[in-house]
């Protein structure tokens, strides 16, 4: 089995300070507090790393209640079982600002999501990005042996693989999973340090993406911008620096069984209380949106489609309520602040236009809810709307399906998400920017026959359960094992 795992905080874009709502605390002997995060990836990785007896390297901003037990900032997790070692990198405020809110989220995030106009170049951001990547590489070198497997997560660590490669014993395997899209070469050109990013990533033995499209674009970018690399697009391999790098597409799933289980144990009293708190009529047909407040998620476009829907279907006024749960994210960045303001003001405007007496067509909240509440809402929602302008995968769509235990939910899914590749043919596909078509699909969803709902949902559930988080992990580790054992070599040379 692969040994140490290493990685960044995860995919939800939030630092691993463990302060998300709905967390559970365990207190060990040395007053160590471990908050279980609500995000899918971190929660999914934790049991895997527990089984490997490895080391998890993650950064924190120094605010978390973290009691280090040795001079390398290492602590055993869980405190009472010591299943793995958590090596924590403490970052200063300036480092967090430049590395995380700077180059990671002002350059790489908009670049990879195809929003080059939103890229902000600030002096020092890239230097800090490099410095933090170096810190990660040094921490890995502290733990790695010739037999190690190093598994790196996401776009915050693009330079680290090459640095790691230079500082660890040969024989160790380095794999990376990139949780967000990879851009076209035309967009990638907007990154002034693109060559360094690609060289950094080619320090890996394996680079993983959610879908084949991103893997192919990555190969195209390497082909176009790194003249020393030899790309084999058919085999998805790259020869560089005397090594072969394998590029793979392994779509990430969710822990479907646990969403199914939590949805089945919904407390009806709690659901009524939530409806009351948010002013949602008890018997309403319910639409649901659940996203980080991020410009990639297409929330204003969704609101425009809802406006069109209520315009065209006056009979649904008072009968259909849309709950938009938006979690504030990266609020240090002005683009995100402006986006939040736009979303809030559009909700108010639409509610003023169509609201009557006690009924609001759009109920909007920025509350972070415990997972039990999320599962209860998923189960209750008649229509789930997932309409990003671009999204690497999108776990929410899959969680909704897993939690639709009564089989009668309808999923509207943007064709610009990774999830659409797996679920698209049985969800109701939308182009998020086409308000008319989007509103028409919404109209279709709310009026869909129970038979069609069940038929579609049965197939969706099959796909989500077949391609769940565990199967994603297994596929990842299968690739890693093949490369690590050398059994992949005849394919790649
Ligand atoms: C990135 C990529 C890719 C949200 N609000 C609450 C809450 N959540 C949870 C959801 C879901 C997660 O957050 C969001 O995951 P997504 O996949 O939808 O989106 P990103 O955060 O953008 O994730 C994405 C993912 O990485 C994995 O590779 O799919 O494409 O952008 O799990 O349930 N959870 C709780 N309370 C909330 O209020 N408990």
Q: What is the pLDDT of residues 69-108, one digit of tens each?
A: 555 678 787 777 778 888 989 999 999 999 999 999 999 9
Distance CA 473, CA 459 (A): 22
Ligand 1, residue 181: give the atom nearest the CA.
30
Ligand 1 midpoint to CA 468 (Å): 15
Ligand 1 midpoint to CA 38 (Å): 9
Distance CA 342, CA 344 (A): 6
pTM of the prediction? 0.92
pLDDT < 50 stretches in the chain: 1-28, 490, 492-493
Pocket of ligand 1 contains residue 22 by CB under 6 Å:
yes
Ligand 1 midpoint to CA 40 (Å): 7
Q: Is 302 exposed, middle or buried (0-12, 13-18, 19+ CB in 10 A)?
A: buried
pLDDT tens digits for range 304-317: 999 999 999 999 99
pLDDT at 295: 98
Pocket of ligand 1 contains residue 292 by CB under 6 Å:
yes
| DSSP H or E segment with residue 243 | strand 243-249
Ligand 1 midpoint to CA 188 (Å): 25
Ligand 1, residue 291: give the atom nearest the CA.
4
Contacts (Cβ under 8 Å, ≥6 apart) of 47: none
State the pairing for strand pair 243-249/237-240. Answer: antiparallel
Pocket of ligand 1 contains residue 327 by CB under 6 Å:
yes
Q: Which of 14, 15, 38 to mutate to test the pocket of ligand 1 (most atoms within 8 A of CB)?
A: 38
Ligand 1 midpoint to CA 37 (Å): 11
Cis peptide upstream of residue 491 (ω within 30 degrees of 0):
no
Which of 290, 194, 217, 208 minimizes the C-alpha distance to 252?
208
Phi-psi region of 114 (alpha: psi -120 to 50; beta: other; left: phi over 0): left
So what's the ipTM on this one? 0.99
Residue 316 carries which DSSP code? G
Pocket of ligand 1 contains residue 389 by CB under 6 Å:
no
Separation in Å, CA 142 to CA 59, 128, 136, 160, 417: 16, 21, 10, 14, 38
Pocket of ligand 1 contains residue 376 by CB under 6 Å:
no
Pocket of ligand 1 contains residue 125 by CB under 6 Å:
no
The residue whose CA is least distant from atom 15 of ligand 1 is 395
Ligand 1 midpoint to CA 3 (Å): 27
Contacts (Cβ under 8 Å, ≥6 apart) of 209: 177, 178, 182, 215, 218, 247, 248, 249, 250, 392
Ligand 1 midpoint to CA 119 (Å): 23
Ligand 1 midpoint to CA 394 (Å): 7
pLDDT at 40: 59
Pocket of ligand 1 contains residue 11 by CB under 6 Å:
yes
Sheet of 84-90, strand order: 55-60, 84-90, 74-77
Q: Which of 7, 8, 10, 12 to mutate to test the pocket of ligand 1 (most atoms within 8 A of CB)?
A: 12
Our measurement of the distance from residue 36's CA atom to the centroid of its chain's CA atoms, rounded to an integer in Å, reads 17
Which of 374, 317, 364, 369 minimizes the C-alpha distance to 342?
364
Pocket of ligand 1 contains residue 299 by CB under 6 Å:
no
Q: What residues does 356 pair with on adjacent strands?
A: 359
Ligand 1, residue 418: give the atom nearest the CA.
30
User: What b/e sequence results for 267-287 when a residue is b if at least 16 CB atoms lie within 10 Å of its CB, and e otherwise?
Assistant: eeeebeebbeebebeeebbbb
Ligand 1, residue 371: give the atom nearest the CA.
39
Ligand 1 midpoint to CA 11 (Å): 8
Pocket of ligand 1 contains residue 140 by CB under 6 Å:
no
The residue whose CA is least distant from atom 19 of ligand 1 is 394
Pocket of ligand 1 contains residue 251 by CB under 6 Å:
no
- State the distance between the two ends of the chain, measured CA to CA, in whole angstroms: 25
Pocket of ligand 1 contains residue 391 by CB under 6 Å:
yes
pLDDT at 489: 65
Ligand 1 midpoint to CA 402 (Å): 15
pLDDT at 11: 38
The residue whose CA is least distant from atom 23 of ligand 1 is 12
pLDDT at 75: 79
Residue holding tokens 């082909």? Answer: 223
pLDDT at 69: 52
């Amino acid at each position: 089995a692969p040994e140490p795992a290493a990685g960044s905080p995860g995919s939800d874009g939030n630092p691993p300070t463990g302060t998300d709502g709905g967390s559970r605390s365990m207190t060990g002997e040395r007053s160590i507090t471990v908050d279980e995060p609500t995000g899918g990836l971190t929660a999914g990785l934790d049991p895997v790393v527990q089984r490997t007896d490895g080391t998890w390297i993650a950064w924190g901003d120094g605010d978390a209640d973290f009691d280090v037990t040795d001079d390398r900032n290492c602590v055993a997790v869980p405190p009472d079982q010591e299943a793995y070692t958590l090596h924590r990198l403490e970052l200063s405020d300036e480092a967090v600002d430049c590395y995380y809110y700077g180059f990671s989220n002002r350059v790489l995030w908009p670049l990879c999501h195809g929003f080059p106009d939103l890229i902000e170049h600030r002096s020092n951001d890239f230097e800090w990005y490099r410095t933090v990547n170096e810190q990660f590489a040094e921490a890995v070198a502290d733990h790695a042996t010739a037999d190690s497997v190093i598994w790196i997560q996401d776009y915050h660590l693009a330079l680290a693989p090459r640095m790691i490669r230079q500082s660890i014993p040969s024989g160790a395997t380095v794999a990376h999973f990139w949780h967000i899209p990879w851009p076209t070469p035309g967009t990638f050109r907007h990154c002034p340090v693109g060559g360094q990013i690609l060289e950094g990533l080619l320090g890996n033995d394996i680079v993983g993406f959610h879908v084949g499209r991103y893997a192919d674009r990555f190969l195209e970018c390497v082909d176009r911008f790194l003249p020393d690399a030899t790309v084999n697009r058919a085999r998805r391999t790259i020869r560089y620096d005397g090594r072969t790098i394998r590029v793979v597409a392994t779509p990430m799933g969710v822990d479907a069984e646990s969403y199914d289980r939590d949805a089945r144990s919904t407390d009806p009293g709690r659901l009524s209380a939530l409806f009351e708190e948010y002013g949602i009529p008890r018997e309403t047909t319910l639409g649901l949106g659940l996203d980080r407040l991020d410009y990639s998620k297409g929330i204003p476009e969704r609101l425009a489609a809802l406006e069109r829907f209520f315009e065209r279907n006056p009979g649904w006024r008072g009968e259909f309520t849309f709950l938009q749960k938006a979690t504030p994210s990266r609020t240090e960045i002005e683009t995100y602040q402006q986006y939040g303001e736009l979303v809030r003001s559009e909700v108010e405007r639409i509610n003023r236009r169509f609201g009557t007496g006690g009924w609001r067509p759009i109920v909007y909240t920025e509350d972070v809810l415990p997972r039990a509440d999320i599962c209860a809402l998923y189960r209750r929602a008649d229509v789930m709307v997932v309409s990003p302008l671009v999204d690497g995968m999108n776990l929410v769509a899959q969680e909704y399906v897993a939690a639709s235990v009564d089989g009668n939910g309808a999923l509207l899914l943007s064709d610009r998400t990774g999830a659409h590749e797996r679920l698209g043919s049985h969800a109701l596909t939308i182009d998020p920017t086409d308000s008319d078509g989007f509103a028409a699909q919404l109209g279709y969803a709310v009026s869909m026959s129970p038979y069609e709902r069940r038929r579609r949902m049965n197939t969706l559930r099959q796909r989500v359960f077949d391609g769940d988080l565990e199967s994603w992990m297994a596929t990842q580790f299968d690739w890693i094992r093949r490369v690590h054992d050398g059994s992949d070599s005849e394919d790649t040379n």
